[in-house]
Structures are given as C-alpha cells and as structure tokens.
Amino acid sequence: MKDRVQIIENELKVSLPNDYKEFIEQYGCMNKSRFEIYGLANNFVDIHKIPSVIGATILYKKDYPLPNNHIVISHTGYKNFIVVLNTLTGHIYKMDNMGTKSS
C-alpha cells in the first residue's frame, strides 16, 4: 500500500500536522474503550468507509459545515458531535451539526 499519510493528504487535499502524521504512521487508527480515532490502516478494504479518516470526513461533510482544511478524526456518539482536526493549526475540537465548536 502507498504511504498512508500521502493517501490521506491526496484524497482529502490537505497537509496533515506532524503529530497526526506520526499517529497514522505508528498506529494507522485506534479503537480503545469505546473511543475510536479514525486514520488509515494497512488492512482497510475500503478507504472510503469509517473508520478511515477519508470516509469519515467525506461522510460527515454532507451534514456538518466543515471547512476544507478540517478532517473528521472521531465521532463522540453523543448528540451527534464529531471530533475535528484543523489541519492548518493542529487544533482538535468537537463540532455539532449546527457548526458549534467546543474544546
């Protein structure tokens, strides 16, 4: 498989922050104690479906007002909040489907 970071950056047309690049390179994605961090693992059959960060970002952009430089790295499972990474600043925050952000 091509470099996972390169695939994500090409598909979503973003430049990933170094911390998230390291996470992708080391873990791919993570599922711990009912909390999942989307990424890209070597064994993904379809990179356009969750838990791929590519699939999550494309899916949630349909219902959430996400700027182009934001990607979806998780879903809280609570009141339709998603966890978003601003690829320009590296900031991570929750967003509801009305566009309301919270730390």
**What DSSP line would sit under 23-86, residue for residue?**
HHHHTSSEEETTEEE-B--TT-S-TTSTTBHHHHHHHHTTTS---TTEEEEEE-SSTT-EEEEE
Residue 1 has pLDDT above 60, yes or no: no
For residue 2, name the pLDDT band (cuts at 50, 70, 90): low
pLDDT in tens, 27-65: 999 988 778 999 998 887 789 998 899 999 999 999 888
Average pLDDT over residues 78-95: 90
CB atoms within 10 A of CB 51: 20
Instruction: Report helix, strand or coil for 95.
Output: strand
Residue 30 sits at φ, ψ, to 5 deg, of: -145, 140
Decide: pTM greater than 0.85.
Answer: yes
Confidence at residue 52, expressed as pLDDT on a 0 to 100 scale: 95
Peptide bond into 51 cis (omega under 30): yes
Q: Give the number of residues written for the chain.
A: 103
* Domains of the chain, start order: 4-102 (3.40.1580.10)
The residue-averaged pLDDT of 88-99 equals: 88
